[in-house]
Amino acid sequence: MIFTPLPLPGAWEIGLEPRSDARGLFARIFCEREFAANGLVTHWVQMNVSLSRERGTLRGMHFQRAPAAEVKLVRCLRGRAFDVIVDLRPGSANFGRHCAVTLDPDRRNAVYVPEGFAHGFQTLEPDTELQYFHSAAYAPEHEGGVNALDPALGIDWPLPPVNLSGRDRALPPLNRTDPP
């Protein structure tokens, strides 16, 4: 596995090192020893998938607060997604900054989202399916978010946003978000 730090400390892009032969390929998507060697979470308690039918669908920006704060490992199984994380850690020199990675099943890459970050994505193709590993179980009473369209975030979404849920559209801007 290839661990590449992202511009926001604690966040990583994780690539695979496939072994190929005439049958196809084999690669690890998770190795406890390698994750631990990079100081990353190695215990996952919940795994989810999301399927977005329409190109341009925007989901996010979501997080969970303590005691249900979570780390996420996000991978694209089908389609392609413009995946974005925002640093919301109180006191962080990078508070409010974001970075983005295009998740692509052909690249087989993933994004490691640390605690204290909001996460969201926009689909670049129809029928885009993402897989999430979570370090904490979903706890609706501890969920939070920041509005993905807030100009203060400066996110340049690659497509006109569609299918933004009412819940996501109603999320507060950065300056009114209670950080995780």
Q: Is 31 exposed, middle or buried (0-12, 13-18, 19+ CB in 10 A)?
A: exposed
- The amino acid that residue 134 corresponds to is H
In order, the DSSP letters of 126-165 are: SSEEEEEEESS---GGGEEE--TT-GGG----SS--B---
Annotated active-site residue 132? The verdict is yes
**Residue 167, SS3 per DSSP:** helix
Contact 85, 174 (CB under 8 A): no
**Annotated catalytic residue, options 98, 132, 138, 142:** 132
User: Which is the catalytic residue, given 62, 98, 119, 134?
Assistant: 62
Q: What is the end-to-end Cα distance of the chain in Å, rounded?
A: 30
**Three-class SS state of 50:** strand
- Distances, alpha carbon 121 to alpha carbons 38, 61, 100, 140, 147, in Å: 25, 8, 9, 20, 12
Q: Could you confirm whether 142 is annotated as catalytic?
A: no
Determine how many CB atoms are found less than 10 A away from the CB of residue 145: 22
Show which residues are catalytic. 62, 132
